[in-house]
Amino acid sequence: MRQYLLIGLLLLLDLDCRKKSSDSPGFNLFTVEDDLELGAKVAAEIESDPSKYPILDSAQHPQAYRHLYRLRDSILQTGKLTYTTKFPWRLRIIRDDSTLNAFCAPGGYIYVYTGLIKYLRTEAQLIGVMGHEMAHADRRHTTQILTQAYGVQTLLQLISGQEQPGLIGQIASSLLLLSFSRDHERDADRHSVIYLCPTTYRADGAADFFEYITQQGGLRPPAFLSTHPDPGERVQNIRSTKQELGCTGTQDYEPRYAQIVASLP
């Protein structure tokens, strides 16, 4: 019954009225509990396919996970996320040195590729990217975009366990290449700064990353860089947000970053 009520509601809504100025850009029919349930299903799918997602065992690589959880905790401890305690914010490292990417499934399941970690040069860059990806989950952008891509009825069937075979695998794969809207990317960039502003890190670390990767030639950019808005505009917006908020953190922790890279296989 709930599925049909939600679908009927969607048909009655005026698409021009979907934006909410005080909330995340876009309209979302799914509840926070739906985000959690979908995220858990996606995480289970990802971690059941080691050939496609070779996840590092945390027991065998405890130092690498300690470093990344330290960065994650620096973000969560600011109290700036809406779902700090509601989402698990579980982190996994995918061993793939050729992929410069990170993503966060609905409900706060964070995945970072070794290729991205080894490519970056400072903790400020990495934590800036992590903040951006965590913002997509905390601001619930991911279920908004998945709703547009797959439809409300399809996702509700998935959450209720009635989905077509292979659908959850498709959704898991799509997270790596998900094309967020211009408003979503701007919102995630801004919230990365908001999350880092109370910390000792330079809050515009994500801008450093965008500048660094665009200066390098011949590399396949991550999905969140290859989509609009233009990287130059994003750098400017991130720097402006830092100035607007009066963020005072100055640390890059570049020497310490070498320890993170050295902890990886």
Q: What is the pLDDT of residues 4-39, one digit of tens each?
A: 444 443 333 333 333 343 366 666 777 899 899 889
- Give the residue ranges of DSSP H helices in the chain: 2-12, 32-47, 62-76, 114-119, 123-138, 141-150, 152-159, 167-176, 182-196, 205-215, 223-226, 231-245, 254-262
Q: Does residue 17 sit within a domain?
A: no
Whether 30 is covered by a domain: the verdict is: yes
Inter-axis angle of helices 141-150 and 123-138, nearest 10: 60
Give domain status of residue 11, yes or no.
Answer: no
Structure tokens at 110: 């964070």
171: confidence class by pLDDT, cuts 50, 70, 90: confident
State which residues form the domain around 41: 26-262
**How many whole angstroms separate alpha carbon 161 and alpha carbon 232?**
43
User: What's the rounded Cα separation, in Å, for the pair 166 and 156?
Assistant: 15
> Does some domain include residue 2?
no
**Residue 129, exposed/middle/buried by CB under 10 A (0-12, 13-18, 19+)?**
buried
So what's the pLDDT on residue 228?
54
Phi, psi dihedral angles at 240 (to 5 degrees): -65, -40
How far from the centroid of its chain's Cα atoms is residue 150's Cα? 19
Tokens of 8: 């009927």
Residue 4: phi and psi, rounded to 5, are: -70, -35
Q: Which of 259, 238, 224 is nearest to 196 (CA)?
A: 238
CA distance 134 to 102: 10
| Within-domain flag for 10 | no
- In this prediction the pTM is 0.85
Inside any domain, residue 5? no
Quick: pLDDT tens for 123-141. 999 999 999 999 999 999 9
What are the structure tokens assigned to 163, written together? 């989905």
Number of domain units in the chain: 1
In a domain, 13, yes or no: no
pLDDT tens profile 54-102? 999 999 999 999 999 999 999 999 999 999 999 999 999 999 999 989 9
Strands 90-94 and 102-105: unpaired
pLDDT band at residue 227, thresholds of 50, 70 and 90? low
- C-alpha radius of gyration, the chain, whole number: 18
- Give the up-direction half-sphere exposure of residue 261: CA atoms within 13 A in the CB hemisphere: 17
Q: How far apart are CA 82 and CA 40, in angstroms?
A: 19
Considering the domain boundaries, does residue 249 fall inside one?
yes
